Amino acid sequence: MTADTTSTSSPAAAMAVAGAEPPPRRRRHPHLLPYGLLLPAAGVLALVLGCPLIRLVIISGQDYGLRSLFTGVVGWAGLANYQAVLTSPDLAPVLLRSIGFCAALVVGTLVIGLAVALLMGRLGRRMRAAVSFSLIAAWAIPNVASTLIWKWLFQPVYGVVNWLLTQIGFGDLTQHDWTTSAFSAFTLVWLLVVWQSVPFVALTLHAGLTQIPRSYYEAAAIDGAGPVRVFNAITLPFLRPILGLVTILSVIWDFTVFNQIWILTQGGPSGQTTTLGVWTFTTAFSQNSFGQGGAIAVVSVVLLLALTAVYVRRLVRSGESI
Amino acid sequence: MRIARNAAATLFCVVWLFPVYWMVNTAFKPYGDILSTTPRFLPFPFTLANFADAVAKPGFLRDLGNSVLVTGAVVVAAIAVAFLAATALTRFRFPGRRSFLIGVLVVQMVPVPALVIPLFLSLKSVHLLNTFLGLGLTYVALVLPFTIWTLRGFLQGIPVELEEAAMVDGAGRGTVIRRILLPLVLPGIIATSVFAFITAWNDFLFAYVVMKDQSGYTLPVWLVSFSTSTGTDYGGLIAASTLFALPVVVFFALVQRRLVEGMTAGAVKG
């Protein structure tokens, strides 16, 4: 998941990098066998992903509340749900927060990830192994576990981070509760998500960097190019496809961060860390207003599609060569 | 220069490993040392009491069992279904093949949290809410796009000539799939199983929404509900988190390299 963020890779990603491939070689006896083989997969995907997706759009036009949940009787709401969502005083702050937080996460992850990837290429063997080990350790911890560890690290009174900050001389922070102000609560979640996301970005970019032929760098060195020029003229152009891929995946994952915010702040204090995902969830499951929750979910899907439109277009186009 | 680089790398390792180190450190510390205002940086005196405590907590073993059951079933079902689909996609050419592949890609782009509401209502209307079958089906669908895609990649790497030779010798299609394709694609199956395992094992959101009955909680839901109960026992909680994370870390370390390779293969053309 999931917003599971150990979602390590995706077919979309594999697709984007693999490009065109040769057609299957066997052409004999197509008949019904291949359809039979595909049937279970197609069935599960259609039932559990396809139908809900269509149903989401339907629900967003329905008056689906607590009563419908028990009676099964659902009335049509037309565009009332969308009207309620789009005129809600919560909409603007939630949107700004979601986009701003997503941007902060993507920038933080990419900058640190790229820096670490570049650093790895210039380290000795042992030091590089140590960095890889740290990355893999952080990447592998399930996000529910790391979120709970975060809670403990930043706990008022007994948390080690507050103690360290106090020792370093930021004043007495031992009693500080990170979830009481919007800014520090977001900082808390930001640190966690960046900590978990940098490994994927750093290791992927590092793998990309190692594929750039040495000879280009040697030629640049002979020509007397400085490090900045080498980076701009060689590293960046070679890395661009992977960088684009990693950016788009980060946007998708960071825009849909849910577990970490939900477990650490529940959207608080007083709704100030409520992002679109949290808003969807609380509208549907705390207020039992599934229609309105559906409308918010549709709005976020559309928004995410807009953010990633360029990439999706390229994906569908490259699909033509499958 | 070299010293500066090594210093930066060391600093990075310290910062990135600190949460993991602190988890392990806390898990092995006696309760009195956990709740001390001056933190202790080494788990001495050393104790296993937190683990004993976690295991003895109400629900832990039951929910561990739930997690193992659901995850195991999901891995087996997802791999079987994905293997059949990948065989169809690589060994046959038929109308609708490309649409299926594009469909798989598009489905993967949908933000998963948006599916929570309709999935919840759909499972409710077919009476699969609060059942392992409902939760398991959800997970299978979540991992299928990736598993189909990856297995397809592995199958493409196996020469068709091997199967053709077997068929010339009189083997049926079933025998070819079972005796030739399956053993050759085993490394791919292992890598994708680990992915399916991690997705199902780690999931919190769907388990939280689908399994409302306490007896059906999986381990992540148990952990979170434990952490929000009053007077959290951090020793037990962190020890339980460590137990929960352990299998993932082990499996992940085994296949991490292959996953990154798959991501970048051919992306940079030299």
Confidence (pLDDT) at A30: 53
Of B159 and A20, more confident: B159
Confidence (pLDDT) at A318: 64
Cβ-defined contact of A37 to B146 (cutoff 8 Å): no
Cβ-defined contact of B238 to A9 (cutoff 8 Å): no
pLDDT of residue A3 exceeding 80: no
Q: Which residue of A has its CA nearest to B14?
A: A134
CA distance B184 to chain A (A): 18
Residue among A4, A64, A208 minimizing CB distance to B199: A4
Look at residue A213 and tell me if it is in a domain. Answer: yes
* pLDDT tens-place string over residues A18-67: 444 444 545 455 578 889 999 999 998 888 888 888 889 898 888 888 77
Cβ-defined contact of A45 to B141 (cutoff 8 Å): yes
Is the CB of B42 inside 8 Å of chain A's CB atoms? no
Cβ-defined contact of B103 to A45 (cutoff 8 Å): yes
Mean pLDDT value across chain B: 85
Mean pLDDT value across chain A: 84
Which domains can be identified in chain B, with CATH numbers?
Answer: 60-262 (1.10.3720.10)
What CATH number corresponds to the domain at position A237?
1.10.3720.10
Is the CB of B119 inside 8 Å of chain A's CB atoms? yes
Q: Is the peptide bond before B187 cis (omega within 30 degrees of 0)?
A: no
Confidence (pLDDT) at A321: 52
Question: Are residues A153 and A225 both part of a single domain?
Answer: yes
| C-beta separation of A94 from A279 below 8 A | yes
What residues of chain A lie within 8 A of the CB of B37, using their CB? 157-158, 163, 174
Domain boundary (A254, A273, A292) is at A273
Look at residue A103 and tell me if it is in a domain. Answer: yes
Question: Are residues A78 and A100 both part of a single domain?
Answer: no
- Average pLDDT over every residue of A151-177: 87
Cβ-defined contact of A163 to B39 (cutoff 8 Å): yes
pLDDT of residue B153 exceeding 90: no
Of B191 and B138, more confident: B138
Question: Are residues A197 and A260 both part of a single domain?
Answer: yes
Confidence (pLDDT) at A16: 44
* pLDDT tens-place string over residues B51-68: 988 888 888 999 999 999
Q: Which residue of A has its CA nearest to B21?
A: A137
Structure tokens at B159: 């020469």
Torsion of CA B224, B227, B228, B234, to 10 degrees: -170
Confidence (pLDDT) at B254: 77
What percentage of residues in chain A have a pLDDT greater than 90?
A: 32
Cβ-defined contact of A145 to B19 (cutoff 8 Å): no
Question: Are residues A113 and A198 both part of a single domain?
Answer: yes
Question: Are residues A266 and A298 both part of a single domain?
Answer: no
Is the CB of B238 inside 8 Å of chain A's CB atoms? yes
In sign, the C-alpha dihedral spanning A54, B70, A68, A297 is negative
Residue among A53, A120, A308 minimizing CB distance to B115: A53
What residues of chain B lie within 8 A of the CB of A151, using their CB? 227
Of B143 and A311, more confident: B143
Q: Quick one: which of B194, B163, B197 has its CA closest to B181?
A: B163
Confidence (pLDDT) at A316: 67
Domain with A119, as residue range(s), is: 93-273
- Average pLDDT over every residue of A260-266: 91
Is the CB of B267 inside 8 Å of chain A's CB atoms? yes
* Interface-testing mutation among B87, B263, B269, with chain A (most A C-beta atoms within 10 A): B263
Look at residue A20 and tell me if it is in a domain. Answer: no
Type of residue at B53: D
* pLDDT tens-place string over residues B214-260: 888 999 999 988 887 656 788 888 999 999 999 888 888 777 666 66
Number of domains observed in the structure of chain A: 2
Structure tokens at B257: 């390299």
Band of residue A153 on the pLDDT scale cut at 50, 70, 90: very high
pLDDT of residue B12 exceeding 70: yes
Look at residue A48 and tell me if it is in a domain. Answer: no
Question: Are residues A84 and A105 both part of a single domain?
Answer: no
Cβ-defined contact of A26 to B35 (cutoff 8 Å): no
- Average pLDDT over every residue of A111-133: 92
Band of residue B261 on the pLDDT scale cut at 50, 70, 90: low
Cβ-defined contact of A137 to B16 (cutoff 8 Å): yes
Look at residue A149 and tell me if it is in a domain. Answer: yes
Cβ-defined contact of B260 to A203 (cutoff 8 Å): yes
Of B115 and A113, more confident: A113
Look at residue A308 and tell me if it is in a domain. Answer: yes
Structure tokens at B217: 């909680």
pLDDT of residue A134 exceeding 70: yes
Confidence (pLDDT) at A305: 83
Confidence (pLDDT) at B30: 87
Residue among B20, B102, B263 minimizing CB distance to A138: B20
Question: Are residues A129 and A244 both part of a single domain?
Answer: yes
Band of residue B184 on the pLDDT scale cut at 50, 70, 90: confident
Residue among B92, B104, B114 minimizing CB distance to A300: B114
Residue among A12, A24, A151 minimizing CB distance to B90: A24
Look at residue A300 and tell me if it is in a domain. Answer: yes
Q: Which residue of B has its CA nearest to A320?
A: B98
- Name the strand (E) or helix (H) holding A63: strand A62-63
Cβ-defined contact of A152 to B237 (cutoff 8 Å): yes
Is the CB of B241 inside 8 Å of chain A's CB atoms? yes
Question: Are residues A110 and A127 both part of a single domain?
Answer: yes
Of A113 and A271, more confident: A113
Band of residue A295 on the pLDDT scale cut at 50, 70, 90: very high
Task: Identify the weakest region by mean pLDDT among A104-118, A220-234, B47-61, B172-186.
Answer: B172-186
Confidence (pLDDT) at B133: 94
Confidence (pLDDT) at B204: 92
Q: Quick one: which of B141, B258, B128 has its CA closest to B203?
A: B141
Residue among B16, B93, B146 minimizing CB distance to A134: B16
CA distance B101 to chain A (A): 8
Band of residue B198 on the pLDDT scale cut at 50, 70, 90: confident
Cβ-defined contact of B34 to A158 (cutoff 8 Å): yes
Question: Are residues A264 and A221 both part of a single domain?
Answer: yes
Look at residue A157 and tell me if it is in a domain. Answer: yes
Structure tokens at B26: 């806390």
- Average pLDDT over every residue of B180-185: 83
Question: Are residues A221 and A106 both part of a single domain?
Answer: yes
Is the CB of B82 inside 8 Å of chain A's CB atoms? yes
Question: Are residues A229 and A125 both part of a single domain?
Answer: yes
Structure tokens at B142: 């979540």
Question: Are residues A84 and A218 both part of a single domain?
Answer: no
* Backbone torsions φ then ψ of A62, nearest 5 degrees: -115, 160
pLDDT of residue B209 exceeding 50: yes
**Helices A182-210 and B234-264, axial angle in degrees (round to 10):** 40
Of A132 and B177, more confident: A132
- Length of chain A measured in residues: 322
* pLDDT tens-place string over residues B73-124: 999 999 999 999 998 998 888 888 888 887 887 777 777 778 888 999 889 8
- Average pLDDT over every residue of B28-43: 82
Q: Quick one: which of B55, B161, B172, B117 has its CA closest to A288?
A: B117
pLDDT of residue A17 exceeding 50: no
- Average pLDDT over every residue of B180-190: 83
CA distance A8 to chain B (A): 7
Distance CA A131, CA B15 (A): 11
Confidence (pLDDT) at A29: 53
Cβ-defined contact of B270 to A208 (cutoff 8 Å): no
pLDDT of residue B19 exceeding 90: yes
Confidence (pLDDT) at A98: 93
Cβ-defined contact of A64 to B264 (cutoff 8 Å): no
Cβ-defined contact of B102 to A142 (cutoff 8 Å): no
